[in-house]
Amino acid sequence: MPTIFRFPGVALVVAISVVARPSAQAPSIAGRITDLSQAVLPGVMVTIVPERGGVAQHTTTDAAGRYRFEAVPDGTYRIDGDLLGFDLDRRNHVRVRAGTAATGDVILKVSAICECIGSRIKAASTVLTGRVVDEANHPLPHATLEVVAPSGLRETAYADREGRFVLRAPANDPWQLTAFDSGFEPGTLPVSSDSANPLLFRLRFAGTEDVADRERLARDCRCPGNVFAHEGR
């Protein structure tokens, strides 16, 4: 509206206009998740987390297989797509800058079909829980866990989206349990029924220069008698 300035004997009218400038586009990550045949996959759990570690965000794909994260802080992220019956697919090096919309499409592959035959572990008696975190104690979603027994038994599983896992510990000789994740130094603990509960792996960031743009985390059979419980999402 005009502003009137009054001076002795004269009135000066000045019109002041305010032009609204469009705000910068909020940084975001969005994409579409399909299988190898390009069929869309609704209900996929999608997790994004800074490559150096930090606060993770989660959402699920809609009926068209699409997802979107709004107001994503500037940085470089990885994207995990997780759906029961499929291997977990990971996109690395997704760069988000102020005012940009990053795209992160994900393609999931059906997990291998396997047959469970008998129990794979013996003399296991104690259920232990654990968690894999970064140096600032933020969970590392879907970190890899590998256990090696003195007998040579080897089994691999993945933490859930909160970095948690569950395993059955032996009552006799300890096993070696290793946790590792893309861009982080691995950590190893001896595990037995006498181990502290819960277990905690705190991994140090080592850099992602040698990490591939895409990783497929293949799921082992989860059979009765496995060391690890079924991974949660």
Do the domain assignments include residue 230?
Answer: no
Closest by CA position to 138, among listed 39, 20, 57: 57
pLDDT of residue 226: 80
Q: Give me the mean pLDDT over the 38-66 stretch.
A: 97
Answer yes or no: do 74 and 154 share one domain.
no
Answer yes or no: do 54 and 103 share one domain.
yes
Most confidently modeled range among 120-124, 136-140, 171-175: 136-140
CB atoms within 10 A of CB 128: 18
pLDDT at 98 over 90: no
Closest by CA position to 80, among listed 132, 116, 146, 31: 31
Closest by CA position to 66, among listed 100, 97, 29: 29
Q: Using pLDDT thresholds of 50, 70 and 90, give the confidence band for residue 9.
A: low
As a whole number, the mean pLDDT across the chain is 85
Domain end (from 59, 76, 108): 108
pLDDT of residue 194: 87
Do the domain assignments include residue 22?
Answer: no
Instruction: Write the pLDDT tens digit of every residue in 153-164.
Output: 888 999 999 999
Do the domain assignments include residue 60?
Answer: yes
How much is the pTM? 0.83
Do the domain assignments include residue 227?
Answer: no
Answer yes or no: do 156 and 180 share one domain.
yes
Whichever domain contains 58, its CATH number is 2.60.40.1120
Reported in sequence order, the residue ranges of the chain that DSSP labels E, i.e. its strands, are 2-7, 10-15, 28-35, 45-50, 57-60, 66-69, 75-82, 88-96, 101-103, 106-108, 124-133, 144-148, 154-158, 164-170, 175-180, 187-191, 199-202, 214-217
Q: Give me the mean pLDDT over the 44-72 stretch.
A: 97
- Report residue 130 as tokens: 């654990």
pLDDT of residue 18: 38
Domains held by the chain: number = 2
Between 67-71, 167-171, 209-213, the lowest mean confidence (pLDDT) is in 167-171
Answer yes or no: do 82 and 136 share one domain.
no
Structural domain containing residue 188:
124-217
Helices (H) and strands (E) in the chain, counts: 0, 18
Do the domain assignments include residue 203?
Answer: yes
Do the domain assignments include residue 113?
Answer: no
Answer yes or no: do 129 and 212 share one domain.
yes
pLDDT of residue 12: 47
- For strands 124-133 and 199-202, give the pairing: parallel
Answer yes or no: do 143 and 98 share one domain.
no
Q: Using pLDDT thresholds of 50, 70 and 90, give the confidence band for residue 2.
A: low
141 dihedral zone (left: phi>0; alpha: psi -120 to 50; beta): beta
pLDDT of residue 116: 64
